[in-house]
Amino acid sequence: MLQLPDRDGLLRGRVLDRNDLSELVTAWDGLCARAVESNVYYAPRYALALTKNIDLDESLRFATVWRAEKLVAFLPFKRPRVGAACAWQTDYTFSCTPLLDRDCPLDAAMALIDLLRAVHAGEWIIPTVNIGGPACRAILEALTNENRPSRIVNSFRRAVVEPTVRFDEHMTLHLPSKRRRDLARSRRRLEELGTVAHHSFCCGEDLDRAVMDFLRIESSGWKGKRGTALACDPATRQFAIDAFTGDREASICRADVLTLDSVPVAVGLTVFSGDTGFTVKGAYDETYRSYSVGLLLEVEVLQSFLNDRWASRLDGATNGTHVVDGLWSSTVEVGDLTFSLASRYAEQRLSVLALLNQAKRTVKRGAKALAARVAG
C-alpha cells in the first residue's frame, strides 16, 4: 500500500488494492453522500458488483485521500506497463468522475493529484467526466495551481433533466406539438390492445421481479441475438442481480415497468448515488416496437420524476445519443480529461498522447466502416 505524508498536516493519501475494499465501504458510502458531484459508477454497490463479476483484474487500485478517518477523495485506476494511466472504466461504466468531498473539493483534488503523481509521474486519462461539473472544475483548478497541463478530448453532449417545472409545462416548453401528438397517438394505439399501466419498484421482491423482467426482455431482443444482453453471460447476469436488486436498506435501484394487460413490455432501471439518478438500463419487448413502448415508458418516468421529485437530477448515463434526447430539457458536455504529471516536457508529452488517441480513433472508425461494408 502506497501512503503519502500528510498534505499540510491535514490530508493523507493512500493507494489501496482490492483486498482493502471490505474495510473501506463505510467511509466510501459516507463520501458518496457528501460528494460535490455524484457518480454511481464509483459508488460501493455498483462498483463492487463490477469487481466481483466482471473486472477481476488484480491490477485495479484505488486512490484515496483522508482527513483523519474521513474519506474525502476516491478514484479507482489502472496503471499500464507503458503509456498513460487511466481511471477505471468498464463496458458498464459511463462516468469516471472522481468522488470529492463537497466540504473541501479543491484541497481533496490537490491531494489526489499529489497521490496520482506518486503512482505514475506521467500522463493520466479520466474518461467521461462532466466537464462543467464541480468535480472536474476542482481537478482542473488543482492542476492549474501545480502548473500541470491538461486537455479535454472526445467531448459529446449527454442528456440531463432537473425538476424545475411540472410535467405538463415541461412537455409544452420542450417538445414540439407534433412530437406530443405522435406520443399521444402511440399511447392510444397501444391502449387499443389492452390495459396499459406504469409501475415503479424500489426494493424487495417487486424490484427483484422487475429486474428479472428486464433481463428477459433485453435478452429477447437484438442484444440477445448479438450476445450482448446482460443475461447472455452468467457473469454479467450476476452483476445485474448484485447491482440492481436488494432490500430496502441495500437497494440503490428504481425499476419502472410499463405493462400491457399486466404483462411487462418495457422496463427501465435507474440507479442512485447521492441525490442523482442515473438511467443506466432500459429494454422493451420488440413485438411492440411500432407502438414506441420504450419511449412511452420514458414519458411515464419523466412525468413521475417531474411531478413527484424523487431525485434532484436525472443523468442519461450514455456515451452519446439516447432515446431521451429531445425529451429531456438539458444536456451537459462530457469528455475525457487528460493531463500530465511528468517533471519534464509535460506539454509535449500531452500533445503526443492526444495524437496517439486521435490515431486510435481513426483506426477504430475505419475498422467499423470496413466491418459494415463486409456485412452489407
Amino acid at 150: S
- Assess whether pLDDT exceeds 60 at residue 376: no
pLDDT at 241: 97
79 and 192 assigned to the same domain: no
Residue 321 is assigned to a structural domain of this protein: no
Q: What is the DSSP string of 232-248?
A: GSHHHHHHHHHHH---T
Report the residue count for the chain: 376
- Assess whether pLDDT exceeds 70 at residue 20: yes
Question: What's the whole-number mean pLDDT along residues 232-261?
Answer: 95
The residues, any chain, with a CB within 8 Å of residue 170's CB and separated by 6 or more, are 302, 306, 329
pLDDT tens figures, 172-186: 999 999 999 999 999
Looking up residue 253, the CATH number of its domain turns out to be: 3.40.630.30
pLDDT at 1: 56
Kindly report the average pLDDT of the chain as a whole number: 92
Identify how many contiguous H helices and E strands the chain contains and give both numbers: 11, 14
31 and 176 assigned to the same domain: no
The residues, any chain, with a CB within 8 Å of residue 4's CB and separated by 6 or more, are 12, 13, 14, 114, 115, 118
pLDDT at 238: 98
265 near 258, Cβ under 8 Å?
yes
pLDDT at 361: 66
292 and 212 assigned to the same domain: yes
Question: What's the whole-number mean pLDDT along residues 346-369?
Answer: 74
- How does strand 85-87 pair with strand 313-315? unpaired
Cell of 224: 440477445
- Assess whether pLDDT exceeds 90 at residue 374: no
Residue 322 is assigned to a structural domain of this protein: no
pLDDT at 364: 64
How many Å apart are CA 214 and CA 75, to the nearest integer? 30
67: pLDDT confidence band, cut at 50, 70 and 90?
very high
308: pLDDT confidence band, cut at 50, 70 and 90?
very high
196 and 77 assigned to the same domain: no
Q: Domain tally for the chain?
A: 2
145 and 230 assigned to the same domain: no
- What range defines the domain where residue 121 resides? 2-159+332-375
363: pLDDT confidence band, cut at 50, 70 and 90?
low
Residue 287 is assigned to a structural domain of this protein: yes
pLDDT at 109: 98
Residue 325 is assigned to a structural domain of this protein: no
pLDDT tens figures, 85-101: 999 999 999 999 999 99
20 and 58 assigned to the same domain: yes
Residue 324 is assigned to a structural domain of this protein: no
Cell of 80: 499500464
pLDDT tens figures, 273-292: 999 999 999 999 999 999 99
Helices 167-174 and 293-308 sit at what angle, rounded to 10 degrees? 120
239 and 139 assigned to the same domain: no
How many Å apart are CA 17 and CA 76, to the nearest integer? 9
Residue 316 is assigned to a structural domain of this protein: no
- Assess whether pLDDT exceeds 70 at residue 214: yes
Residue 327 is assigned to a structural domain of this protein: no
Residue 227: burial class (beta carbons within 10 Å; 0-12, 13-18, 19+): exposed
pLDDT tens figures, 309-329: 999 999 998 877 778 888 998
296 and 213 assigned to the same domain: yes
299: pLDDT confidence band, cut at 50, 70 and 90?
very high
pTM of the model: 0.91
Give percent above pLDDT 90 in the chain.
80
How many Å apart are CA 90 and CA 88, to the nearest integer? 7
Residue 205 is assigned to a structural domain of this protein: yes
pLDDT at 113: 97
Give percent above pLDDT 70 in the chain.
93
- Assess whether pLDDT exceeds 70 at residue 366: no
Place of cell 450482448: 228
Helices 134-145 and 105-119 sit at what angle, rounded to 10 degrees? 60
pLDDT at 320: 73
Backbone angles phi and psi of 331, in degrees to 5: -140, 160
144 and 225 assigned to the same domain: no
Of 266, 282, 311, the residue that ends a domain is 311
Cell of 77: 485506476
346: pLDDT confidence band, cut at 50, 70 and 90?
confident
Cell of 227: 450476445
